Amino acid sequence: MTRRTVVLASGQLLTAAFWAPILERLGSAHDFRHADNTRDDSVQAMAQRLLDGAPASFDLVAHAMGGFVAFEVLRTAPQRVRRLVLVSTLAPNDGPAQIERRQGYARLVEAGQFARVVEERIPILLHPDRQADEALLGFARQMAAETGPETFLRQQRAIIARPDSRPSLPAIRCPTLLIRGDSDGIVSQAHQDEMLAALPNARLETIAACGHLLTLERPDETAHLLSAWLSV
């Protein structure tokens, strides 16, 4: 039996290691491929790179910034995505407050304080009970270090310039699973409700006692949801 291809699109400052706890639990049931979101400074270019490296039909699992890329993939080639999972992501583009925060991060990087950017993001990434978990913090810091400041700035430019994806949501016809941690400091319940109302074929699953980094904080629960969704 031929395994279906599942493309994994990561969020900012995250590497393929972000998905490792999930892949350990799902085994070889699918052909998992990790999209490269490190070399481009627009979501359009990231989406085209993803499509160029994917087969004619595939499932797409996208986290955070990867969700912005997924929206562009669905605008460009909707017929190629069989099933979609949007993890810890949202549809609107940045408002003035978000842009200012991102530009502040860029100023820190340009001042040689990339490590400070990573530390300032911890409170919005992790559940409060895990913000002192040294193993988890070390994992997040290592992925950020491997991503590096230059890639981070490219990703920032892509995120700031991304379009508002809300108008294109009704055109996404493939089955779509939304997953959010109930203590996510970036993605709100209102963001999920907005997508649920606009997507024709979607459902939401909320993981309790979890922040933005679901695969690391709650790998068992996240893997269970993905396994059930991708096996259909």
Q: What is the pLDDT of residue 87?
A: 98
Q: What is the pLDDT of residue 170?
A: 98
Rounded average pLDDT over 85-95: 98
φ and ψ at residue 15, rounded to 5 degrees? -110, -175
Q: Give dist(CA 217, CA 226) in Å, integer.
A: 15
Rounded average pLDDT over 162-183: 98
Name the band, by pLDDT with cuts 50, 70 and 90, for residue 1. Answer: low
Q: For the chain, what percent of residues have pLDDT higher than 70?
A: 100
Q: Give dist(CA 56, CA 195) in Å, integer.
A: 26
Name the band, by pLDDT with cuts 50, 70 and 90, for residue 99. Answer: very high
Return the bridge partners of 9, or none: 62
Q: Give dist(CA 118, CA 146) in Å, integer.
A: 12
What the chain holds in terms of domains, given with CATH numbers, is 5-94+155-230 (3.40.50.1820)
Rounded average pLDDT over 194-218: 98
Rounded average pLDDT over 135-162: 96
Sheet with 58-63: strands ordered across: 31-34, 5-9, 58-63, 81-87, 176-181, 202-207
Would the CA dihedral through 104, 126, 196, 227 be positive or negative? positive
User: Pick from 43, 34, 33: which is nearest to 14 by CA?
Assistant: 34
Residue 173 has pLDDT above 80, yes or no: yes
Write the pLDDT tens digit of every residue in 216-230: 999 999 999 999 999
* Residue whose structure tokens are 């481009």: 40
Q: What is the pLDDT of residue 2?
A: 78
Rounded average pLDDT over 4-21: 97
Q: Say which DSSP state 93 is in.
A: -
Residue 16 has pLDDT above 90, yes or no: yes
Return the bridge partners of 32, or none: 6
